[in-house]
């Protein structure tokens, strides 16, 4: 067939295309240009979110370490009470940084090393007995970090004031924790350009890392903090002793702090720097993605809010509530789960975030 | 009669072996590179060693993932045999070995399915039967085979036809409402690349997504014809390079762009390929048969078998018409049809395992058993959801829960539309047998 045949066909096709473009320009379903400064969002994340939060956490661990130092040299009830207060503050602050499990934090397995629970109290007692502590070792993970402190400071089985062996174990654990926290905070300080330069949407990009880790941490609230103790993974049989911070009973405060931290991050607010900046919510708004007859950005915000409200409705301590107030626990669990769906499907899809390293040709 | 004579001439006249031999060299080299890349990316580990569960292809349940060392052996065989293909050394043996090792590995887990792996398997199968080693090869140099300067034309046309099918069907697949009228999914994917230098900002305009969508469809539909036509060929090849480099630049699609760019060289003239061999310093081995006709030994069977091979490929992609519902949503008849980069789909699945004796249930997140990639693939594909449900039944049987019922809450978003419940959450998936029959438990889209 002669060339002009193809050329005529092609020009027809192009003509058709341009007609369609004109007719589609006015259907008003999305922006004609996606106007969003991703780099500015990454800058806000690094400067106003990650950095100040890490610094605040490091400070809170230092404060705890100092309070413990005072108690260690003078083991009085008054000093122990001061330790407990600083411990709770540090654990709450930890909830604001544990979803940054990428970059320098991932390099040292920050979250796993500081917060593997339920803690193995028999293992702790053995280690207390033989005076050893091997921070970060695989077999030490469930006998270190905050959960170990929770047991040492709050369990009725432990008489910290009168047991030098327990005090030594706590001291070693705290030394490990403050070293780790200092290392990570220092590493983050020099991570600025790496974080800002990874400005794509692939799995190794900063946006990709943030979205994937935020989702993972949010799912941990659902599964580890609430689901498992409530029996969601054990055919309905609750396991109250597996709650986070079982001995101090601050499980719900920690869960709420975690939820608030993620929600605030989503909205572009940070409670340590008191700064507001470009956020995931703004990004989704700029994309104009719709869900349930409204902007996806607003829907996610509302569902975060709803999850928070349902969570604070749980009365008393969580280890009791999973037995005695299952309706409230279930309501909170469902509200949290509802948002997981949108966070793991609609949001990454809209942002174009890729979740695996594999080659792709499918979707 | 004239027509059939012309057809006969197109298929059976003798033509230079150079394009076919060059195709062999390039394909073998790319496969060697691709195998080593896969290996060095650590993907053997993440795809075949780490997972404790593999999704089976229907009809290929007998394909199991071998022990760790054997997986490495398979990849080693792939590397060696692709080198054998490129060099044209013990060619038939290595072509067959490559086809078998590559295809076996691909059949281990559906969640790794990529159209370009399917393409590689098809080409490898073809090469086993084509006389691509009869010259410009070590087999010819060492006289392991009788050197030929020419081959029957159909041995080259078949590869052109194969490439044309890939392009044309990929083009036909783009002729859908979302792609043409809404520029989806490119309207979602392109702005995500706004950070790229030079063109980045440009990608955030909606009209660019429309232009890319339409140009992409026009390219796929027309490029086989433009490559086949001598006069348009140089422009067409320029388009091939531009198109594939653009996709390579924008999307993580691995070696596929390079495979296509180098494969389409086969449309170039024998003279071009002979010059290329001269340029590469690969000599033509002397053909003692002179001008005698070279017909492959299986001369009667081979054209027939190749016709069946092509007929299968022309028909198989249309099987989706036999299923109810929307193809992109149900994915019944989606694979093996050159549907490439067509949709943005993401899902979230939670399984509920119920103990029938107590009526209590436990929730299972697939992450507890599957790799990130497996979870991602499973959550949007009903047949994989079903396989995983059956796996959970066995898993819980092992844990002492007899006759467990497995249900799944799955939510899927397609092309940026709000997520929706994907399958019937009340159905005990263990009561469903996997098969080719329509899966009526997939809930409708929209």
Judge whether residue B74 has pLDDT over 70.
Answer: yes
What is the per-residue burial (b if ≥16 Cβ within 10 Å, else e) of B368-396? ebbbebbbbbbbbbbbbbbbbbebbbebb
Q: Is residue A160 situated within a structural domain? A: yes
Q: Residues B113-133: pLDDT tens digits?
A: 999 999 999 999 999 999 999
Judge whether residue A17 has pLDDT over 70.
Answer: no
Q: Is residue A226 situated within a structural domain? A: yes
Judge whether residue B288 has pLDDT over 80.
Answer: no
Judge whether residue A198 has pLDDT over 70.
Answer: yes
pLDDT at residue number A207: 97
Name every chain B residue with its beta carbon within 8 A of the beta carbon of A237: 360
pLDDT at residue number A4: 46
Q: For the residues A305-313, what does the mean pLDDT come to?
A: 98
Judge whether residue A8 has pLDDT over 60.
Answer: no
- Range with the poorest average pLDDT among A46-50, A200-204, A261-265: A200-204
Please give the DSSP secondary-structure letter assigned to residue B203.
G
- Range with the poorest average pLDDT among A220-224, B283-287, B394-398: B283-287
Judge whether residue A266 has pLDDT over 70.
Answer: yes
Q: Residues B36-57: pLDDT tens digits?
A: 999 999 999 999 999 999 999 9
Q: For the residues B197-219, what does the mean pLDDT come to?
A: 94
pLDDT at residue number B302: 85
**Nearest alpha carbon to residue B333 among B311, B306, B307, B315:** B315
* B297 vs A197 pLDDT, higher one: A197
Task: Find residues 17-46 of chain A whose CB sits inside 8 Å of chain B.
Answer: 17, 20-21, 24-25, 29-36, 38-39
Q: Is residue A7 situated within a structural domain? A: no
pLDDT at residue number A356: 77
Q: For the residues B424-444, what does the mean pLDDT come to?
A: 96
Asked whether the beta carbons of residue A235 and residue B360 sit closer than 8 angstroms, the reply is yes
pLDDT at residue number A1: 43
Interface residue A360 vs chain B (CB under 8 A): yes
* Domain ranges within chain B, ordered by starting residue: 2-176+259-320, 344-431
A293 → chain B, closest CA residue: B418
The radius of gyration of chain A from alpha carbons, rounded to an integer in Å, stands at 25
Beta carbons of B250 and B193 less than 8 angstroms apart: yes
Asked whether the beta carbons of residue B362 and residue A232 sit closer than 8 angstroms, the reply is yes
Beta carbons of A150 and A119 less than 8 angstroms apart: yes
The CATH number assigned to the domain holding A135 equals 1.20.1420.20
Q: How confident is the model at residue A26 (pLDDT cuts 50, 70, 90)?
A: very low
Judge whether residue A287 has pLDDT over 50.
Answer: yes
How many Å lie between the alpha carbon of B309 and the closest alpha carbon of chain A?
A: 24
Q: For the residues B380-401, what does the mean pLDDT come to?
A: 97
pLDDT at residue number A91: 98
For residues B303 and B153, give the distance between their C-alpha atoms in angstroms, rounded to a whole number.
11
Q: Residues A139-181: pLDDT tens digits?
A: 999 999 999 999 999 999 999 999 999 999 999 999 999 999 9
Judge whether residue A357 has pLDDT over 80.
Answer: no
Asked whether the beta carbons of residue B204 and residue A33 sit closer than 8 angstroms, the reply is yes
Give the number of other Cβ atoms within 10 Å of residue A319's Cβ.
22
The β-bridge partners of B14 are B152
Name every chain B residue with its beta carbon within 8 A of the beta carbon of A291: 418-419
For residues B121 and B262, give the distance between their C-alpha atoms in angstroms, rounded to a whole number.
17
pLDDT at residue number B1: 47
Mean pLDDT over the full length of chain A:
92
Q: Dihedrals φ, ψ of B350, to 5°?
A: -125, 130
pLDDT at residue number A24: 47
DSSP string, B403-445: T-EEEEEEEEEETTSPPEE-B-TTS-GGGPPPSSS--TTBPPP
Q: Which residues contact B414 (CB under 8 A, 6 or more apart)?
A: B328, B329, B343, B344, B345, B445
pLDDT at residue number A83: 98
Q: For the residues B194-203, what does the mean pLDDT come to?
A: 90
Beta carbons of A233 and B362 less than 8 angstroms apart: yes
Mean pLDDT over the full length of chain B:
94
Name every chain B residue with its beta carbon within 8 A of the beta carbon of A9: 222
* B379 vs A28 pLDDT, higher one: B379
- HEC profile of B235-264: HHHHHHHHHHHHHHHHCCCCCHHHHHHHHH
For residues A360 and B346, give the distance between their C-alpha atoms in angstroms, rounded to a whole number.
14
Q: Residues A242-256: pLDDT tens digits?
A: 999 999 999 999 999
Q: Residues B81-115: pLDDT tens digits?
A: 999 999 999 999 999 999 999 999 999 999 999 99
Q: What is the largest CA-CA distance in chain A?
A: 99
Q: Residues A213-231: pLDDT tens digits?
A: 999 999 999 999 999 999 9
Option in A35, A346, A356 nearest B413 (CB): A346
Q: Residues A79-119: pLDDT tens digits?
A: 999 999 999 999 999 999 999 999 999 999 999 999 999 99
Q: Is residue A150 situated within a structural domain? A: yes
User: What is the ipTM for the molecules in this complex?
Assistant: 0.90
Beta carbons of B107 and B137 less than 8 angstroms apart: no
For residues B72 and B54, give the distance between their C-alpha atoms in angstroms, rounded to a whole number.
17
Asked whether the beta carbons of residue A361 and residue B256 sit closer than 8 angstroms, the reply is yes
Judge whether residue A10 has pLDDT over 60.
Answer: no
* A30 vs A118 pLDDT, higher one: A118
Beta carbons of B371 and A354 less than 8 angstroms apart: no
Judge whether residue A233 has pLDDT over 70.
Answer: yes
Interface residue A302 vs chain B (CB under 8 A): no
Q: Domain range for residue A144?
A: 38-351
Q: Which of A21-35, A60-74, B244-258 has the highest mean pLDDT?
A: A60-74
Q: How many domains does chain A have?
A: 1
Option in B112, B215, B416 nearest A350 (CB): B416
pLDDT at residue number B290: 59
Q: Is residue A17 situated within a structural domain? A: no
Q: Which residues contact B349 (CB under 8 A, 6 or more apart)?
A: B366, B375, B378, B379, B385, B408, B409, B410, B411
């Amino acid at each position: 067939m002669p060339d002009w045949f193809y050329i005529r066909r092609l020009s027809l096709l192009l003509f058709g295309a341009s007609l369609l473009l004109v007719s589609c320009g006015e259907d008003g379903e999305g922006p004609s240009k996606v106007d969003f400064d991703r780099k500015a969002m990454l800058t806000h994340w690094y400067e106003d979110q990650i950095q100040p939060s890490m610094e605040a956490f490091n400070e809170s661990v230092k404060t705890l370490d100092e309070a413990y130092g005072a108690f260690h040299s003078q083991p009085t009830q008054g000093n122990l009470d001061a330790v407990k207060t600083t411990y709770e503050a540090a654990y709450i602050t930890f909830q604001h940084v544990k979803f940054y499990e990428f970059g320098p934090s991932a390099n040292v397995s920050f979250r796993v090393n500081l917060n593997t629970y339920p803690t193995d109290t028999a293992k702790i007692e053995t280690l207390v007995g033989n005076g050893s502590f091997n921070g970060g070792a695989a077999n030490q993970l469930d006998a270190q970090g905050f959960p170990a402190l929770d047991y040492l400071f709050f369990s009725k089985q432990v008489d910290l004031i009168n047991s030098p062996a327990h005090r030594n174990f706590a001291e070693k654990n705290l030394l490990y924790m403050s070293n780790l926290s200092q290392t990570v905070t220092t590493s983050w300080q020099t991570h600025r350009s790496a974080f800002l330069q990874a400005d794509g949407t692939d799995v190794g990009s900063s946006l990709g890392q943030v979205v994937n880790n935020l989702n993972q941490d949010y799912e941990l609230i659902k599964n580890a903090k609430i689901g498992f103790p409530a029996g969601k993974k054990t055919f309905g049989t609750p396991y109250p002793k597996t709650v986070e911070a079982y001995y101090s009973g601050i499980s719900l405060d920690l869960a709420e702090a975690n939820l608030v931290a993620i929600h605030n991050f989503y909205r572009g607010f940070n409670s340590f720097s008191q700064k507001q900046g470009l956020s995931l919510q703004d990004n989704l708004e700029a994309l104009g993605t719709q869900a349930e007859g409204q902007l996806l950005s607003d829907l996610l915000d509302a569902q975060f809010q709803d999850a928070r409200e349902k969570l604070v409705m749980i009365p008393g301590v969580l280890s009791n509530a999973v037995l005695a107030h299952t309706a409230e626990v279930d309501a909170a669990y469902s509200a949290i789960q509802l948002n997981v769906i949108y966070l793991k499907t609609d949001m990454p899809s809209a942002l174009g975030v890729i979740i695996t390293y594999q080659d792709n040709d499918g979707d | 009669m004239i027509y059939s004579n012309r057809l006969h001439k197109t298929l059976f006249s003798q033509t230079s072996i150079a394009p076919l031999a060059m195709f062999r060299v390039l394909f073998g080299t790319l496969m060697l590179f691709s195998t080593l890349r896969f290996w060095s990316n650590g993907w053997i580990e993440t795809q075949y060693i780490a997972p404790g569960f593999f999704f089976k292809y229907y009809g290929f349940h007998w394909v199991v993932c071998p022990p760790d060392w054997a997986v490495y052996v398979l990849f080693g065989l792939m590397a060696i045999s692709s080198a054998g293909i490129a060099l044209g050394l013990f060619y038939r043996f290595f072509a067959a070995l490559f086809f078998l090792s590559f295809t076996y590995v691909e059949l281990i887990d559906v969640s790794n399915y990529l159209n370009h792996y399917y393409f590689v398997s098809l080409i490898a199968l073809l090469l086993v039967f084509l006389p691509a080693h009869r010259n410009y090869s070590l087999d010819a140099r060492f006289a392991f085979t009788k050197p030929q300067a020419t081959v029957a034309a159909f041995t080259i046309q078949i590869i052109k036809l194969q490439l044309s099918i890939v392009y044309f069907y990929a083009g036909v697949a783009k002729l859908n409402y979302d792609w043409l009228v809404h520029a989806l999914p490119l309207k979602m994917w392109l702005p995500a690349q706004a950070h790229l230098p030079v063109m980045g900002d440009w990608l955030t305009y909606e009209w660019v997504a429309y232009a890319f969508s339409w140009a992409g469809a026009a390219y796929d539909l027309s490029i086989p014809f433009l490559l086949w036509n001598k006069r348009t060929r140089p422009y067409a090849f320029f388009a091939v390079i531009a198109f594939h480099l653009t996709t390579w630049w924008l999307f993580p699609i691995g070696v596929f762009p390079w495979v296509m760019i180098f494969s389409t060289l086969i449309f170039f003239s024998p003279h071009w390929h002979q010059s290329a061999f001269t340029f590469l310093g690969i000599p033509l081995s002397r053909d003692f048969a002179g001008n005698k006709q070279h017909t492959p030994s299986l001369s009667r069977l081979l054209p027939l078998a190749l016709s069946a091979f092509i007929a299968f490929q022309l028909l198989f992609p249309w099987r989706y018409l036999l299923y109810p519902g929307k193809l992109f949503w149900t994915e019944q008849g989606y694979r093996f049809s050159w549907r490439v980069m067509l949709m943005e789909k993401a899902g979230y699945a939670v399984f509920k395992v119920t103990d029938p004796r107590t009526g209590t249930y436990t929730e299972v997140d697939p992450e507890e058993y599957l790799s990130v990639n497996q979870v991602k693939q499973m959550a949007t594909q009903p047949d994989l959801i079903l396989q995983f449900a059956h796996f959970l039944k066995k898993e819980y049987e092992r844990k002492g829960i007899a006759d467990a019922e497995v249900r799944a809450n799955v939510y899927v978003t397609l092309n940026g539309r709000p997520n929706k419940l994907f399958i019937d959450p009340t159905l005990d998936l263990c009561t469903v047998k996997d098969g080719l029959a329509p899966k009526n438990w997939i809930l409708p889209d929209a």
